[in-house]
Chain A
């Protein structure tokens, strides 16, 4: 019955995160929709430079919490601080500009725009996004456009999308869209990337590449990751910290080994099967 690929669980633990404090601090966040209390007092921290996984059964409030963190929903109460500043209740564009950039569970490729435009859109500090600068500073706009285009093409090459730069994003396959969304988020120069089920709907080869990209970005660019994921193999082997939510609350958090043995987590989410296999594997 223990069929999950868990055998290398204990051996390939990722390096410990550089422990220079919390980049994101979530303190007792609540969010209600009518009669449904979707998030009821979630608190946890995301350490600078870590890859933190957020797991839990369907309806645990993970995506709702993501939406509150990134300003897409307004939380009812609680505190959220990012890099030391409170961002609770701030609008999404402002939170993104601070360096906390998200992707969506269902990819939001801008279908009727070319791939390169998807990428260039995300670049920060383009004076040409202010209407008056189109007339007042056309040269500064063009100069920044050239830089941004170069950056975008470099990044597309890294993600093996270079050849598709001029295609409409809508013609890309599901997996390519996932890569594009990650690459696009990186164009925004994030300090913290929030990925909502990055592995869902893509084949294992592509998933492996996505994980490699994440690890490389963490070491090379110092990007911190918080991701929602259901694939336990990915969660247990590729994250430094796991936060478990159930029914709107955080019920456990800690290293993957610690969390998988937690009885509350086993009861609420992992189930005995997983626990058994973990025992065997570990």
Chain B
């Protein structure tokens, strides 16, 4: 095969595409929360990875250690994430936008470092997974049952469906429902106050709006979406490691947001698909082995993705679906 050619057969392999689709769906959920925060409220939340971690770890700990059923642990973990968002948001949302960004980033890192070091609770860097001697009490089991029954039904039309297909369908069902709900609530009087805060918080306060409450609500909705994404990540990985919740996760979600365009929910979904297709698809560019060692290729993939983002910013600063007017006038 000629160097620099793309391995088309592998690139369009169905298992590969589905695994990308799952990742893209998870990041779409994270970035939908960011869209509400950044695109519609003007609060720069860098803590989504922290909310994902809280959601995922709470669910896993409740099932594995406290013996909760998966279906009870899921709503509990979402409530815990919201409570955490409230604790983080109440003091930090009074800060200026840039300080708030730093506060949320620090919060997410505290969560990750806690997960890394509270070994008895989270397994630390070993990760959190099912005990081998007692596989009966294990959060992926509850999901595996659902997954099996979905695939059983699918096998009526498609013999031997890929094992990740049910997760793909459920993740994207959540993405679509979230998009629909967010779209509906954004263009209401409530959402209008959010947009006013984005434009000028003092103007909103001068017109009788208790802006802190609106910013908190916006943050909590993003936290819920983050928790959902964390839960799906846990189902996808089957084990939880602190490294899955590094700030890079939030930054990737921002890349998705910028790619899709600000103040547009549809763009987030398309942006997530495109981002992960490019980032993972670059694996299949054939490069000569010398000088391209594995680590160099890993770095190169990020560089290519970054270059594409920069190119997009240069030629289409509003992203794929963003409104140019809202960008220019926002200044």
Contact = CB atoms under 8 A, between A and B. Distances in A.
A108 B190 contact: no
Contact of B207 (A96, A113, A128, A134): A96
Contact of A134 (B188, B202, B325, B328): B188
A97 B198 CA distance: 21
Given A110-B200, A168-B325, A134 B206 contact: no
A145 B329 contact: no
B329 A134 contact: no
A128 B202 contact: no
A93 B189 contact: no
A103 B210 CA distance: 17
B325 to A, nearest CB: 6
B110 interface: no
B292 to A, nearest CB: 45
Interface in A150-187: 168-171, 184-185
B199 interface: yes
Contacts of B209: 93, 121, 129
B217 A97 contact: no
Contacts of B205: 72, 91-93, 96
A182 B273 CA distance: 46
A70 interface: yes
Contact of A120 (B192, B210, B326, B328): B192
B203 A108 contact: yes
A128 B209 CA distance: 13
A103 B206 CA distance: 8
Contacts of A128: 188-190
A103 B207 CA distance: 9
B196 interface: yes
A121 B194 CA distance: 10
B233 interface: no
Interface in A98-131: 101-104, 108, 110-113, 117, 120-122, 124, 126, 128-131
A200 interface: no
Interface string B192-228: 1101101110111111111100000100000000000
Contact of B189 (A92, A103, A110, A126): A126
B192 to A, nearest CB: 5
A188 interface: yes
A141 interface: yes
Given A108-B202, A130-B190, A170 B207 contact: no
A181 to B, nearest CB: 9
Nearest to B197: A110
A210 B37 CA distance: 37
Contacts of B210: 91, 93-94
Given A110-B196, A168-B329, A131 B207 contact: no
A101 B207 CA distance: 7
Contacts of A93: 205, 208-211
B185 interface: yes
Nearest to B205: A92
A104 B204 contact: no
Contacts of B193: 121, 129
B330 interface: yes
A117 B187 CA distance: 10
A111 B329 contact: yes
Contacts of A104: 202-203, 206
A187 B329 CA distance: 23
A98 to B, nearest CB: 9
Given A117-B192, A120-B192, A141-B188, A110 B203 contact: yes
A14 B193 CA distance: 39
Nearest to B189: A128
Given A93-B210, A110-B196, A113-B196, A129 B329 contact: no
Contacts of A184: 207
B86 to A, nearest CB: 14
Nearest to A135: B185
Interface string A63-98: 000000010100000000000000000011110110
B190 A96 contact: no
Contacts of A144: 189
Contacts of B184: 134
Contacts of B206: 70, 72, 92, 96, 101-104, 108
A159 B208 CA distance: 22
B189 A141 contact: yes
A129 B200 CA distance: 17
A116 to B, nearest CB: 10
A144 B206 CA distance: 21
Nearest to B210: A93
Contacts of B196: 110, 113, 121
A126 B191 CA distance: 12
A168 B326 CA distance: 9
Contacts of A108: 200, 202-203, 206
A122 B327 CA distance: 23
A134 B192 contact: no
Given A108-B200, A113-B196, A97 B190 contact: no
Which of B207, B325, B329, B331 is the most central at the interface, judged by chain A CB atoms within 10 Å of its CB? B207
A38 to B, nearest CB: 18
Nearest to B327: A112
Nearest to A67: B202
9 contacts: A96-B205, A112-B325, A113-B192, A117-B195, A129-B209, A141-B188, A145-B189, A168-B325, A188-B208
